[in-house]
Structure formats: structure tokens, C-alpha cells
Amino acid sequence: MAESHGKAIDSSQDFVASAIENSDKPFEDSMKAIQADKIQFSEGEDHDAILQNLRILVERGWTVDDAGIGIDKTFKFKAWMKCIGFTARIGLESKAFNHHPVIVLRYGNVWVKWTTHRPYGLSSKDIRMAMYCDEMAEATNASNASIEFKE
Ligand SMILES: C[C@H](O)[C@H](O)[C@H]1CNC2=NC(N)=NC(=O)C2=N1
């Protein structure tokens, strides 16, 4: 059971709620609470840089998993072809950046999870790709064309 600002919290959802609920507290306090209790950073990472961006991602609906090594989010789209288009955009960038997610493609939504296998933990690559997902979700919703598949 982890403590944050004196409250017992025992799930990453609670961590997220606690981080946002305490957002009126100085930034450092709420982020230290998350760092001390939860995140397992990949070796060699700049912890403060990751935490700065993690706060933005959490406010956009990303959640930290219970192991503290990954972040995930569910993107909702009305049309199946938008689910496909979003997934394809993430897939192409994953190939280009050589950093790959777990993606669950369903009718109406796409669940994406980022974690780093080697070195094990949460890395700046996960953060970058999560930011990219948010950008692509906006681009997908804004675009009328379904995506062309280029090899
Ligand atoms: C050999 C290849 O570069 C590695 O296996 C890459 C591929 N994609 C990856 N994706 C993720 N999420 N983590 C990794 O450590 C990783 N490593």
C-alpha cells in the first residue's frame, strides 16, 4: 500500500486521481509522491524530465500501470475506419522509431500501452510515443480520408 499526502492509495487509478486531486499543491509535491511510490524508470533516464511530461499525459487521460513501468490510454472513435487509421498511424511511427506498443483494436476504441522492454521500465521513448498518440488521435478525428497504406 503506498502513501501519498497521508492518504492510503492502492491502485494506479488512485495514484492518478491523487496526482490530479493534489494538483493545487506545488508541482514538485504531487510528482514526488508519484515518483517515490510508483514509477520504475528505465536505466539512464532523466527522472524529472519524464515526470514533467507524465503530468501532462496524466491530465490528458493516460494512466500509470500498477507496476509503475507503463502508461496506457483508451482512444474512442465513432467510425471503425478511424480506429484503423489511428492504429495504422501509430504502427507506422512505431516502425520508424523502433519502439512498439501493445494495441488492442476494438469496434469504437483503441487501447494503447507503452512500456520499455530494454532497459526495463518507463522511458522517454514511452513518453514521446504517448504524446504522438495524442497528436494522431486529433489528426485522425480531424481527417476525412481513411489512411493509405504505404509499405
Ligand atoms: C531490437 C529492437 O531494436 C528492440 O527489440 C526494440 C524494438 N521495440 C521495442 N519496443 C519497446 N516498447 N521496447 C523496447 O525495448 C523495444 N526494443
Q: Is the CB of 100 under 6 A from ligand 1?
A: yes
Distance CA 83, CA 102 (A): 15
| Those residues with Cβ within 8 angstroms of residue 10's Cβ, 6 or more apart along the chain or in another chain | 1, 2
Q: Mean of the pLDDT values across residues 103-120?
A: 98
> ipTM for the complex?
0.97
- CATH T-level topology, domain 10-139: Gyrase A; domain 2 (3.30.1360)
What percent of the chain is predicted at pLDDT more than 90?
68
Please report the pLDDT score of residue 38 as a whole number: 82
Q: Is the CB of 123 under 6 A from ligand 1?
A: no
Q: Which residue has the higher pLDDT, 15 or 43?
A: 43
Q: Which atom of ligand 1 is nearest to the CA of 114?
A: 12
Using the mean position of ligand 1's atoms as its centre, give its distance from the Cα of residue 136 in Å: 21
Question: Grid coordinates standing for 8?
Answer: 492510503
Q: Is the CB of 99 under 6 A from ligand 1?
A: yes
H or E segment and range at residue 3 = strand 2-4
Residue among 72, 68, 6, 71 nearest 37 (CA): 68
